[in-house]
Structure 1
Amino acid sequence: MFEKEYDVIVVGGGHAGAEAAASAANMGSKTLLVTMNLQTIGQMSCNPAMGGIAKGQIVREIDALGGYSGIVSDKSAIQYKMLNKSKGPAMWSPRTQNDRMRFAEEWRLMLERTPNVDFYQEMVSGLLIEKGRIAGVRTSLGLDIKAKSVVLTNGTFLNGLIHIGDKQFGGGRAGERAATGITEQLTDIGFESGRMKTGTPPRVDGRSLDYTKMIPQPGDPHPEKFSYLDTIVLKSQRDCHMTHTSREVHDLLKEGFDRSPMFNGRIKSIGPRYCPSIEDKIHRFADKDSHQIFVEPEGWDTVEVYVNGFSTSLPEDVQFKALRSVKGFEKVKFFRPGYAIEYDYFPPTQLKHTLETKIIENLYFAGQINGTTGYEEAASQGLMAGVNAHLKINDLPPFTLQRDEAYIGVLIDDLITKGTEEPYRMFTSRAEYRTLLRQDNADLRLTPKGYAIGLASEERLRKMMEKEEKSKEFIDFFRSTSFNPEDMNTILEDVDSSPVKQADKMYKVFSRPRVSMDHMLRLKEVADYVKHNDLDKEVMDQAEIQVKYSGYIEKEKNNADKLQRLENIKIPDHFDYSKLKSLSYEAREKLQAIRPVTISQASRISGVSPSDISVLLVFLGR
């Protein structure tokens, strides 16, 4: 039934699994994607949206490297927004509202069109391990499938337990069974495992809602897209809507707290801090009279609606009664109630930077199995695991990203260095170099790297180089071209900026905070240059950011370069920290457990102080 031996087997067909299979296969590995249900590949288990704050940057990074998430998001988008436009470009984050069914369909079709990908539908119940190295997987039917490497992307399915009020039943997602066997085998081998919780809100019938009582939330008037390739920009969009809970809604929800698995002790694991359930919000923020509810359509044609902000595991009758008291929901009909789900994960400090496990060679973990939450976080890990599985079995150098190179680098470094005891999600505040890691320059940062390892296409590289060259030439134009004071003062007067007294280079005035590219385009010389050189919005945005933020960008580059020196100081593989009595007890314990590869990584471990780093540097002769 199968190849004699696959190069890579990917277990799970969610966002992590799909990206893992695509990246390994596109680099040349014979890949098998094994999942419990081939109809749910790329399924959006929770909200029908991609991107958002920091997550949008991750999607663009995946795309820049040669992954599929950005393309699939563009092809299935029903709305586009650039968030945080009122702030600096380091905070700008793209987000799409997506058609849930088309999103999964596009993922399935893209994978089917990818050479080297085989598919098989069945549950993987165990791993084949020989002398500390992965050798394949065993299915629930007892079939052994051989492989040189395996990527586990089990999502919420490992011993998944669904809670709705005082009812609970096994499942990895509504209507789908849980996966068993893998956790038990790995813990017997010596892996540490834990439990986490996440939740989802009710899905309702949009025909039963009164949108006239809600606030419309339209997309951007001039929508953009995720992918750097020539995907289609939206010509029409669907509105989302916003409404609010009230004190009455909160009181109705509280009536069910005694039957809530969160409060009666049934759920013992920790849920996502930054995406709490509605009952958790009411409990934690008792002083607030209302919370926002975002009403999100599930697609172009379906009437199903996602009630964002109302995630809950309360009894279904309580959910229904409370939601009917929300403005616009007075006659709501349920498609299905919200629920919470508990599942197994493996603390990610047990991984290397490549996402390979430290205990079993050629075994990789990606996605919620590592304690993360979110499609984008999962997809980026899947891509990196697939890439490194391919590289490892071909005796090629590993591929990792530093914290100053990508949000993906920040994500993975945080996981394996600090671990996580609650579902980890990405924020711009987690990145110390966020001025460098903007959504607009992900291709400039990462496409050359993706191309060098054989993942990003030549077309991507050509587009990136053309954008980079045109942006530099445009900036040089501003540096070398003088303005007419009279024309320039007309613009400066409009933006309430001090006038100029004599001619000077355009760059000098363009760098003022209130002067935008739109203002500069009012100058004939600039408009003519743009038209003659056929510059698109991406090139103009890139030039504007480089002009306005050059000082900040340079400062962050210098800081990153200083820390890079510590990154270059390697710690020997089998270094014995117990011999260094000058280290604090906590530092010795943490360093021995995590086994950092460099001094820089060691410095980021919680509990390792600057004086501990000094001791290490002295011992290593630095």
Structure 2
Amino acid sequence: MSFFDQTYDVIVVGGGHAGCEAAAAAANTGSSTLLVTMNLQTIAQMSCNPAMGGIAKGQIVREIDAMGGYSGIVSDKTAIQFKMLNKSKGPAMWSPRVQSDRMRFADEWRLMLERTPNLDFYQEMVSGLLMDGDRIGGVITSLGIEIKAKSVVLTNGTFLNGLIHIGDKQFGGGRAGERNSKGITEQLLELGFESGRMKTGTPPRVDGRSLDFSKMIEQPGDVNPQKFSYSNVTKPLTKQRSCQMSYTSLEVHDLLREGFDRSPMFNGRIKSTGPRYCPSIEDKINRFADKDRHQLFVEPEGWDTIEYYVNGFSTSLPEEVQFKALRKVAGFENVKFFRPGYAIEYDYFPPTQLKHTLETKVVSGLYFAGQINGTTGYEEAASQGLMAGINASLKVKEKDALILKRDEAYIGVLIDDLITKGTKEPYRMFTSRAEYRTLLRQDNADSRLTPLAHKIGLASDDRMYALDVKEKEAQNLVDFFNTTSISPEEANPILEEKGTSPMKQSDKMVKIFSRPQIELSDMLDFVDVKDYVQKNNLDTEVLEQAEIRVKYAGYIAKEKANADKLQRLENIKIPDNFDYTKLKSLSYEAREKLSKIQPTTISQASRVSGVSPSDISVMLVYMGR
């Protein structure tokens, strides 16, 4: 039975952050696309904290935006606070983050999707997949409706056989107030996939009217806020809402320990793995027993709502234990709950079963994106959705896939880590995971990725033109510093004020600007620089780009050279269905791992856990290299 009279190019299952980006990407690259979700009213729901970005995650959002995705624009339009994190460190570590208005974020996402050509919507649970031999043929809904498609992207989040835990209570659900999804896991197992279980958690939501903010530490946004999107459709914030910070105490910890025997994590009812880098409060107390307090960030859920998110107090303890302990936190003495925190277990599929396109190795035309691959976080999910949507669309059109390399994007690092190494705990992106993070800065994501996205029709001509103008202006300013001289009489007063040695004779401005003590604001005090900037009407982004290119030129060149060296291994392709069992000189572990992962290049093979440099040498000799 079906009232769908067409075969879609791409069907996206799930309307979370991965599903939204996948649907937008597929539709915007010209594919007829259907987004099927259990509830159209909860599209792009921020089911955990009301924020986008952060360490490494902010770089991912900027990369999504540079490629024509929607997360950056939606974040800018619905932000209530902006912060650039790690400004005290080098630009490779700068990470943008916004506090979001939860309700407006979801509303804006839905409106943007509804304005996207080639995109249809349908509300119902997908309970199975239609197969056409060994390739995907579409989906089957819980009502038995068959919808045909040339490719399918699964972005099921925490809904696959989701089980919610609060203390000794448990019930099925994909998130608070929503049912879970059944049927898909069982069918995928029958098709030959491996699955596992993971868990994540969320803290209580509380009534802001019951809090005493005078006992907390205010956390305001940046004085001069920036934005995520490179496009001109959004503007930086002109007003912001502050967050607050408080601390737990030994008394709070003792009260929480009273409920450990009823915590599903400690009494053995939850056996799945949770996120190491975003642990529950009971996990923190247990693992860091020497700490007498932990930070809690009290985050408003929007411009107008009284609901607050207690970041740092994720828990699945009994609700009365949560309440009793939280009331001992400074400022929470009279707290009222909107809802208690909870943990959720769900099915995931080890991502070593995927290709770099995020297409499954078992079923042609079937793609996985988001938490189904074992990741955690809106940003990680959205980036996978973007790439799965792009590649599903390209495959249908019989065009070459788009695969981002590790030196091109954090998204490339994320996907390569998942495909090559797999994950046994919820994967979260960090700057430390990227060996080329000096190249993968948040400020140059458009330079790195917009040309690639423009070639496949995802980034608009306007985006490409704006990038060309910015690149030209930034390089012209760098050339100005390289060719314009400055005298000791003009420079020395500022040099001495900054505690750096004075000039003895005239020299090029780049020599002054390269000194670590000298900042862009100092250079703008020089008449020639000020006149040039005003004459050419240069904006903050151009000035920042020029400053980074001057001050970090040596580091950038060195890292680029290292990336180019390793690229030679990336260019050595491994034949399809390569039989590693024939290479008796390989270690047993290498043969086993390589046969399972099936890497496509020697470089990828070298990153597989358990594969040694000597194993790589054996492969190179065998392949005549």
Shorter chain as denominator, the TM-score bin is over 0.9
- What is the deviation of 1:493? 1.2
Residue equivalent to 1:455: 458
* 1:526 counterpart = 2:532: no
Matched position secondary structure for 1:496: coil
Matched position secondary structure for 1:145: strand
Matched position secondary structure for 1:341: strand
Residue in structure 2 matching 1:196, options 195, 198, 204? 198
Aligned counterparts, 1:222-261, within 5 A = 222-230=224-232, 231-261=234-264
Residue equivalent to 1:158: 160
Identical residues among aligned pairs (%): 77
Residue in structure 1 matching 2:293, options 266, 290, 293? 290
Residue equivalent to 2:366: 363
Residue equivalent to 1:465: 468
Residue equivalent to 2:89: 87
Residue equivalent to 1:15: 17
Q: Which amino acid aligns with 1:196?
A: M
Residue in structure 2 matching 1:215, options 214, 217, 237? 217
- What is the deviation of 1:521? 0.2
Matched position secondary structure for 1:589: helix
State the alpha-carbon separation in 2 of the partners of residues 528 and 504 from structure 1: 19
Residue in structure 2 matching 1:149, options 144, 148, 151? 151
Task: Give RMSD over aligned pairs.
Answer: 0.4
Residue in structure 2 matching 1:615, options 589, 610, 618? 618
* 1:52 counterpart = 2:88: no
- What is the deviation of 1:491? 1.0
Residue equivalent to 1:35: 37
Q: Which amino acid aligns with 2:583?
A: L
Residue equivalent to 1:582: 585
State the alpha-carbon separation in 2 of the partners of residues 488 and 45 from structure 1: 54
Which runs of at least 4 in structure 1 moved beyond 3 Å after TM superposition? Answer: none
- What is the deviation of 1:435? 0.1
State the alpha-carbon separation in 2 of the partners of residues 61 and 188 from structure 1: 37
- What is the deviation of 1:507? 0.3
* 1:500 counterpart = 2:495: no
* 1:415 counterpart = 2:455: no
Aligned counterparts, 1:6-405, within 5 A = 6-230=8-232, 231-405=234-408
- What is the deviation of 1:151? 0.1
- What is the deviation of 1:22? 0.1
- What is the deviation of 1:135? 0.2
Q: Which amino acid aligns with 1:104?
A: A
Aligned counterparts, 1:474-485, within 5 A = 474-485=477-488
Q: Which amino acid aligns with 1:48?
A: P
Which stretches in structure 2 are left out of the alignment for 5+ residues? none
State the alpha-carbon separation in 2 of the partners of residues 39 and 202 from structure 1: 22
Q: Which amino acid aligns with 2:130?
A: L
State the alpha-carbon separation in 1 of the partners of residues 196 and 55 from structure 2: 28
State the alpha-carbon separation in 1 of the partners of residues 601 and 95 from structure 2: 31
Q: Which amino acid aligns with 2:525?
A: R
Q: Which amino acid aligns with 1:464?
A: L
State the alpha-carbon separation in 1 of the partners of residues 18 and 187 from structure 2: 22
State the alpha-carbon separation in 2 of the partners of residues 451 and 99 from structure 1: 31
- What is the deviation of 1:3? 3.8
Q: Deviations over 1:507-560 (max 9, x none)?
A: 011001110000000001000000000000000000000000000000000000
State the alpha-carbon separation in 2 of the partners of residues 162 and 458 from structure 1: 46
* 1:564 counterpart = 2:562: no
State the alpha-carbon separation in 2 of the partners of residues 468 and 25 from structure 1: 29
Q: Which amino acid aligns with 2:548?
A: I
* 1:604 counterpart = 2:607: yes
Q: Which amino acid aligns with 1:529?
A: Y
State the alpha-carbon separation in 2 of the partners of residues 267 and 596 from structure 1: 34
Matched position secondary structure for 1:258: helix
State the alpha-carbon separation in 2 of the partners of residues 275 and 410 from structure 1: 20
State the alpha-carbon separation in 1 of the partners of residues 488 and 107 from structure 2: 57
- What is the deviation of 1:568? 0.5
TM-score (norm 1): 1.00
Matched position secondary structure for 1:357: coil
TM-score (norm 2): 0.99
Which stretches in structure 1 are left out of the alignment for 5+ residues? none
Matched position secondary structure for 2:75: helix
User: How many equivalent residue pairs?
Assistant: 622
State the alpha-carbon separation in 2 of the partners of residues 274 and 118 from structure 1: 37
Bigger Cα displacement from structure 2, 480-489 vs 99-108: 480-489
Matched position secondary structure for 2:507: coil
State the alpha-carbon separation in 2 of the partners of residues 613 and 358 from structure 1: 23
Q: Deviations over 1:62-87 (max 9, x none)?
A: 00000000000000000000000000
State the alpha-carbon separation in 1 of the partners of residues 581 and 219 from structure 2: 58
- What is the deviation of 1:4? 1.6
- What is the deviation of 1:464? 0.7
State the alpha-carbon separation in 1 of the partners of residues 596 and 374 from structure 2: 18
Q: Which amino acid aligns with 2:118?
A: N
Residue in structure 1 matching 2:442, options 439, 442, 450? 439
Residue in structure 2 matching 1:428, options 420, 427, 431? 431
State the alpha-carbon separation in 2 of the partners of residues 335 and 490 from structure 1: 59
State the alpha-carbon separation in 1 of the partners of residues 103 and 24 from structure 2: 20
State the alpha-carbon separation in 1 of the partners of residues 149 and 376 from structure 2: 28
Matched position secondary structure for 2:344: strand
- What is the deviation of 1:574? 1.3
Matched position secondary structure for 2:200: strand
State the alpha-carbon separation in 1 of the partners of residues 128 and 414 from structure 2: 28
State the alpha-carbon separation in 1 of the partners of residues 395 and 118 from structure 2: 18
Q: Which amino acid aligns with 1:280?
A: D
- What is the deviation of 1:2? 2.0
Matched position secondary structure for 2:89: coil
Q: Deviations over 1:394-429 (max 9, x none)?
A: 110000000000000000000000000000000000
* 1:573 counterpart = 2:615: no
Q: Which amino acid aligns with 1:202?
A: P
